[in-house]
Chain A
Amino acid sequence: AQSVTQLDSHVSVSEGTPVLLRCNYSSSYSPSLFWYVQHPNKGLQLLLKYTSAATLVKGINGFEAEFKKSETSFHLTKPSAHMSDAAEYFCVVREPTGFQKLVFGTGTRLLVSP
C-alpha cells in the first residue's frame, strides 16, 4: 500500500532564506507525486507534480522538488522564502494501479518571519 510521510509538522524560516520541506513515500509501483499548498481558510492549490518525466520538477512561485527513487524522497525546496509562502504544504502520492487514489501526508506548516 502506498503511504506518505512528511518529516516535519512545522518549519520556521526567515524571509530570504532557503526553504526545505521533506517528504518520503512508500509505493509498490512508480508513483505520481504532488505537492499542494493551502493558505489559511483556503482550498488546495497544486504547486508541482512528478509523473515519471524529469526528476527535477519546477512548480509555481519558485518552488521545485526532486524525485529520488533510491531514497524514496520528494523534498520541496525554494531558494528564498517570501512572507506570502507561509501556508500548509501537503505531499501526495498516487499509484498508477487500481483506482489510483491520492494519499496525503499529514502536512507541514511553513512559518516565515520578517
Chain B
Amino acid sequence: NAGVTQTPKFQVLKTGQSMTLQCAQDMNHNSMYWYRQDPGMGLRLIYYSASEGTTDKGEVPNGYNVSRLNKREFSLRLESAAPSQTSVYFCASSEEGYTEAFFGQGTRLTVV
C-alpha cells in the first residue's frame, strides 16, 4: 500500500526559480491538502481540495498555486521561489467526516 506519495523528497532552488511538487494518493479520497511545516509553527494549511476540480486557499496561500489534476493527484507550484518558502511541505488526503488524514513523507525545500 503506497498511501500518499510525494516527489521529490529534497530540492534546492535559487531565488526566482519555479518548481512543482507532486502528490498522489491511492486511497480513493476526495479531500487533499498541502501543508508547510516550519519550526515552532506546526503545520499550516496552504491549499486544499474538497474534490476533483475544486481548490481553495488555506491559511498561507501567497506565492503558491495548486492543481487537482484528477482524484488521485494534487500538485503544488511555486512560480517564483523566495527564501521565505524554505520549508518542509506535506501532502495529505482524507475522507469526509470525522476521519484522520494520511500524510506523505514530505518534501524538504531550500531556496537560496
Residue ranges of A at the interface with B (Cβ–Cβ < 8 Å): 9, 32, 34, 36, 42-44, 46, 49, 51-52, 90, 94, 96, 99-107
Contacts and interface: CB of A to CB of B under 8 A. Distances in A.
Contacts, number: 52
Interface residues of B, number: 26
Interface in B51-89: 56, 58
Interface of B: 31, 33, 35, 40-45, 48, 50, 56, 58, 90, 92, 94, 96-101, 103-106
A32 B50 CA distance: 18
Nearest to A34: B100
Contact of B33 (A32, A52, A102, A106): A102
A96 B43 contact: no
6 contacts: A32-B98, A42-B105, A43-B104, A100-B31, A103-B45, A107-B40
